[in-house]
Amino acid sequence: MAKGQPVCLVETQKSSVEVEAPGPGTLLRLYETGAEVELGKPVALVCETPEELERERARRGAPASPPPPPGERKATRKAVELAERHGIDLAAIDKRGFITEADVEALIGAAAGPAAEEAPAPAGVLEGVSTERVSLPALLDSPDELGLLDEAFLETLRADPESFRALSPEEKASTLRDHGAAVGEDVALGEGTLVAAPRVVLEDGVSIGAGSTLVCDEALTIGALTHFGAGLDLRCRRAHIGAGVHGGARIQIGGGGHRDPWALLAIGDLAFVGDEAFVNVCRPVLIGAEVFLTMRSMIVTHNIGHSMLEGYENRFAPVVLEDRSQVGLGTVVYAGCRIGEGAIVGSSSYVVSDIPPGKLAIGVPAKVAGAAARPVARARQVELVQELVADLRELLVLRGHPARAVDGGFELEGSAVRLVERVDASYTPPEGEAETILLTLELAGDPPAGTVVLDLLERRIHGARGEQSPLLDATRELCRKRGMRLEPGPWRYRRGLI
């Protein structure tokens, strides 16, 4: 082989890296295909002479490395499996080096032709924007008359915003309510915060941090238990934010064109927006349910540059983040891009084209590097839940709560948390337990009497009645921190046991 020739491809969840030969010679493989190798061990050698090849082969007992048959292509295991499933001939891929899963996917996409017609979007500003795999907030479809402010009061707000900012949080909520806004219970608008829009809907438990500005030309609706930290600056024609959304501090939503007719922001339930994120909304920005838009990430819907008559790009286009997608720290998503359901974009990337559902993309520009998630065997799922229960017990003990280990979990002051892989009607909680919380991977039928069941794969709670106990709250919170956001919701952890 020649120096610089690709000899190996290393695939991880975050990247695929070709390893090139450091010099001319013969490749000696040290392990058979499919063997597990300890991290850091060599898997092959490049021998410069026939004598060195025979010496190393004898010393290491390495398998012979016959040359590949003429015409055989080098491809990763995932690429071969995908090609076989779709009847793809790898010889049709013209590429120097290793053929990867992404190469096969590109060939499949080209063969498929134009994409099937997507789900229609709502009329109006979303015309032409597909909402397929995007769970929009329910308040997006709320009646136009809900939360309409008195016109005279709205004019006062616009003419003298500082008077409203000077009100106490309680006075802000009651003042908006008294003048037509639909404001629920336990709404907290921080010190120095301004809310001004012709139509305002703030459901129960909405919390906006101090020093924030929320100004919309047409409507502002926010779902129950949604929280934003201090310094939120939201300026938009229409903003519809779902329930259970968590936003960090110093988030900016608006930018150039935020009063354009198409300036719409929609964020689905249980989404996360990190500190100092920036979202430009001169065109629609649709963020689905359980999306993570992390710290200092940026979405832009238009660019600023030189004259298009001189050949410079001039783009104005919506951005869509489908359900459960993730945008890494410091990443930019450019106008017109769509990130597919469950896809992940690595930190410090620049997205300039669509990312398919379920894929991991990274880089500048961002390119698909593999799958965003990998299948987890049932035995490993059980191990992970065991670790979660152990972590919860340790955390409780460190917080000064005497959690005692028992078979399958732990007990705390007469209540227990237990892992039961499959729960059905035959399960009977131990006598004397005031509350038995079961973490399971499979629930068959109704939860057994006297238990609360957290079905972790279905991500649902069964058997809870009314206000949750402190131990159930703590268990649910740790599940949330491990990525399992349980229904029914919305729900917020209020500084309990952990």
Model pLDDT for residues 338-385, shown as the tens digit of each residue:
999 999 999 999 999 999 999 999 999 999 999 999 999 999 999 999
Domain identity same for 36 and 10: yes
For residues 168 and 63, what is the distance between their CA atoms, to the nearest angstrom? 77
Domain boundary among 112, 147, 166: 112
Domain identity same for 101 and 165: no
pLDDT, residue 13, reads 43
pLDDT, residue 111, reads 57
C-alpha closest to that of 271 among 251, 254, 300: 251
For residues 438 and 417, what is the distance between their CA atoms, to the nearest angstrom? 6
Domain identity same for 205 and 305: yes
Q: Is 159 helix (H, G, I), strand (E, B) or coil?
A: helix
For residues 168 and 210, what is the distance between their CA atoms, to the nearest angstrom? 11
pLDDT, residue 115, reads 42
For residues 479 and 485, what is the distance between their CA atoms, to the nearest angstrom? 7
More confident site: 218 or 24:
218
**Domain annotation covers residue 491:** no
- With 50 as the cut, is the pLDDT of residue 438 above it? yes
What number is the average pLDDT over the span 13-23?
A: 62
| Contact (Cβ atoms closer than 8 angstroms) between residue 281 and residue 255 | yes
For residues 393 and 442, what is the distance between their CA atoms, to the nearest angstrom? 22
- Axis-axis angle for helices 378-398, 470-481 (nearest 10): 130
Domains contained in the chain, number: 3
**Domain annotation covers residue 270:** yes
C-alpha closest to that of 476 among 447, 446, 458, 456: 456
Phi-psi region of 276 (alpha: psi -120 to 50; beta: other; left: phi over 0): left
Handedness of CA 42, 47, 52, 57 (dihedral sign): positive
- With 60 as the cut, is the pLDDT of residue 235 above it? yes
- With 80 as the cut, is the pLDDT of residue 244 above it? yes
Domain identity same for 338 and 388: no
Provide the pLDDT confidence category of residue 70 given band limits of 50, 70 and 90.
Answer: very low
**Domain annotation covers residue 117:** no
Tokens read off for 288 = 């689905």
What number is the average pLDDT over the span 453-478?
A: 91
CA angle, 304 then 310 then 316, to 5°: 35
C-alpha closest to that of 53 among 32, 25, 21: 25
Eight-class DSSP state of 82: H
pLDDT, residue 340, reads 96
Domain identity same for 298 and 264: yes
| Contact (Cβ atoms closer than 8 angstroms) between residue 452 and residue 462 | yes
What number is the average pLDDT over the span 410-432?
A: 91
C-alpha closest to that of 49 among 14, 25, 71, 68: 25
Q: Worst-scoring range by mean pLDDT, 4-13, 145-154, 472-481?
A: 4-13
Q: Worst-scoring range by mean pLDDT, 60-74, 430-444, 446-460?
A: 60-74
- Axis-axis angle for helices 77-86, 101-112 (nearest 10): 20
For residues 334 and 343, what is the distance between their CA atoms, to the nearest angstrom? 16
**Domain annotation covers residue 63:** yes
The residue type found at 350 is Y
Cβ neighbors of 192 (< 8 A, separation 6 or more) are: 165, 166, 210, 211, 212
- Neighbour count for residue 234 (Cβ, 10 Å): 26
Domain identity same for 195 and 318: yes
Domain identity same for 325 and 242: yes
pLDDT, residue 59, reads 81
| Contact (Cβ atoms closer than 8 angstroms) between residue 165 and residue 194 | yes
Q: Is 26 helix (H, G, I), strand (E, B) or coil?
A: strand
pLDDT digits (tens, 9 = 90+) for 256-265: 899 999 999 9
**Domain annotation covers residue 486:** no
Domain identity same for 335 and 192: yes
Domain boundary among 341, 371, 401: 371
Domain identity same for 49 and 173: no
pLDDT digits (tens, 9 = 90+) for 87-132: 677 777 776 566 776 677 666 666 554 443 444 444 578 888 999 9
Provide the pLDDT confidence category of residue 308 given band limits of 50, 70 and 90.
Answer: confident
Which range marks the domain in which residue 359 is found?
124-371
pLDDT digits (tens, 9 = 90+) for 152-176: 999 999 999 999 999 999 999 999 9
Give percent helix, percent strand, percent coil of the chain, each to the nearest 5. Answer: 20, 25, 55
Domain identity same for 130 and 220: yes
Cβ neighbors of 301 (< 8 A, separation 6 or more) are: 257, 280, 281, 282, 283, 284, 285, 316, 317, 318, 319, 335
**Domain annotation covers residue 434:** yes
For residue 240, the domain's CATH number is: 2.160.10.10
For residues 416 and 409, what is the distance between their CA atoms, to the nearest angstrom? 7
For residues 12 and 33, what is the distance between their CA atoms, to the nearest angstrom? 17
For residues 328 and 409, what is the distance between their CA atoms, to the nearest angstrom? 35
pLDDT, residue 114, reads 46
Q: Where are the alpha helices (DSSP H) in 19-68?
A: 50-60
What number is the average pLDDT over the span 455-481?
A: 91
pTM of the model: 0.75
More confident site: 120 or 436:
436
- With 90 as the cut, is the pLDDT of residue 65 above it? no
pLDDT, residue 15, reads 47
Domain boundary among 47, 78, 112: 112
CA angle, 346 then 348 then 354, to 5°: 55
Domain identity same for 355 and 425: no
More confident site: 103 or 337:
337
**Domain annotation covers residue 487:** no
Q: Where are the alpha helices (DSSP H) in 88-219?
A: 101-112, 151-159, 161-165, 169-178
| Contact (Cβ atoms closer than 8 angstroms) between residue 229 and residue 248 | yes
What number is the average pLDDT over the span 465-494?
A: 90
Domain identity same for 263 and 358: yes
Cβ neighbors of 44 (< 8 A, separation 6 or more) are: 7, 8, 27, 28, 29, 30
**Domain annotation covers residue 497:** no
Q: Please name the helix (run of DSSP H) or strand (run of DSSP E) that holds residue 394, with its range, or none.
A: helix 378-398
